[in-house]
Amino acid sequence: MNETEALIVTKDEGLVHEVERLLAGQGLRVHVSEDWKQPFTERGKYAYYLVDDRTVKKVDDVNVPSASWLIVLIGQRSFDRVRDWLKQGAHDVLVIPDELEKLNALAQRMAVRAPIDETAAAQRNALDAGGRVRAFYSVKGGSGKTVISAMVAQSLQLQFGKRVMLIDFNAQFGGLEVILGLESPRSYLDLQPVLQELSFNHIQNVAVKEETTGIHVLLSPLNPEQAESISDELVTRVLQTCKAHFDEVILDLPSTLNTVSFTALTGADDIYYVVTPDSMAVRGLKHALDLFRRFQIGNHGNVHLIVNRNNKKSELSEKDLTQLVDLPLIGSVRADYYGIQPFVNMGRPFYSKKGDKGSSKVAQDVRLLVEKALLKGV
């Protein structure tokens, strides 16, 4: 197989010219065919196969050698079609013409790609090595855990140089896409058909990158009813794969203790319970801790307390909370509704550049929490 040769299968001459232009800088020689012919793969001649979806009737007809990359160029966004290609082993699915420019960056990754078995080896060792999984949880809705988890992810990536994946497992009533100003038709539920062979390339294909801070985000399904389709196996395999390829995996979890939250909590290295300083929130926290003990969640001393919306007029002080609940308090975030709301409403990043401590009290306190607690192993 020639590592410098690629095959594009399409009848679109304009698309051929664009692909040749984008790949020319990578030293790849492009061959063209108007139809998919299985002998292509039997000869094993090409390292990269770029297939125009419009030229293929049945996805199952397309098979490439295990050491080659399959990149699919699709004309319209179709969940079912994308899932079919992912299941068939496509390394990426690009919507043309909107995402064609991404082919240049993809070609750079291809040129320096690791050995073909690297992903499998990384996944086998994922539970014993790799990044750290941090889950943010609270049984009380409106505690602010979603905002805090997003801030933590942005701070770790932008301020401290970590490679971060943020996952919205709050599938029915999340909102990370609003807070971060993201739009994508894809979610981690699209990975369900390829769970048995889930790889980093599959994760990349459905993740969204927040451009300012650089974090990668796996969004929840657009339809809340699809939350019931999320299996514990999906959660486990997504966590394992992300942990193998990211320094930090941040989870925003639903308030209910269901299959998703239970699996994520048991798979997390650290659990951060976000509580507001009032008696109702503390009552919910105590119920949650009873459930944690019953189901042996956090029995390794990895559950930590974060106080949110703290101010001098709060019903309970930090001292009161530590006396009422037997959990280590690792940080306090001040109340600053008017400082944080413009960022939430407009989907703007809470930090804009390295060294930015945040313009709101909330962003400043979260950055301090990351620096003083999370990065020191808490």
Cβ–Cβ < 8 Å for 39, 64 = no
Long-range contacts: 25-29, Cβ < 8 Å, 24+?
Answer: 25/104, 25/107, 26/104, 26/107, 26/108, 26/110, 26/111, 27/111, 28/4, 28/107, 29/4, 29/5
Strands 69-74, 164-168: pairing is: unpaired
Looking at per-residue pLDDT, the higher value among 211 and 80 belongs to 211
Element (H, E) at 345: helix 337-346
What pLDDT was estimated at residue 128? Answer: 42
DSSP state of 137: E
Name the band, by pLDDT with cuts 50, 70 and 90, for residue 118: very low
pLDDT digit string, tens, across residues 147-159: 999 999 999 999 9
Distance CA 276, CA 38 (A): 61
Q: Can you tell me which residue has the tokens 């389709």?
A: 229
Name the band, by pLDDT with cuts 50, 70 and 90, for residue 104: confident
Name the band, by pLDDT with cuts 50, 70 and 90, for residue 41: low
Kindly state the average pLDDT of the residues 259-266: 92
Sorted by where each starts, the structural domains of the chain and their CATH numbers stand as 5-125 (3.40.50.2300), 130-374 (3.40.50.300)
SS (H, E, C) 189-243: HHHHHHHHHCCHHHHHHHCEECCCCCCEEECCCCCHHHHHHCCHHHHHHHHHHHH
pLDDT digit string, tens, across residues 68-82: 788 999 988 776 787
Whole-model pTM: value is 0.68
- pLDDT exceeding 70 applies to what percent of the chain? 89
Answer whether residue 355 shows pLDDT above 70: yes
> Which residues are paired to 310 by β-bridges?
334
Residue 248: phi, psi to the nearest 5? -135, 130
What pLDDT was estimated at residue 111? Answer: 58
Name the band, by pLDDT with cuts 50, 70 and 90, for residue 185: confident
Lowest-pLDDT range, 35-39, 50-54, 161-165, 349-353? 35-39
pLDDT digit string, tens, across residues 273-325: 999 999 999 999 999 999 999 888 887 789 999 999 999 999 999 999 999 99
What pLDDT was estimated at residue 113? Answer: 47
pLDDT digit string, tens, across residues 105-117: 776 666 554 343 3
pLDDT digit string, tens, across residues 280-293: 999 999 999 999 99
Answer whether residue 120 shows pLDDT above 60: no
What pLDDT was estimated at residue 66? Answer: 66
Q: Could you tell me how many helices (H) and strands (E) the chain has, helices first?
A: 14, 13
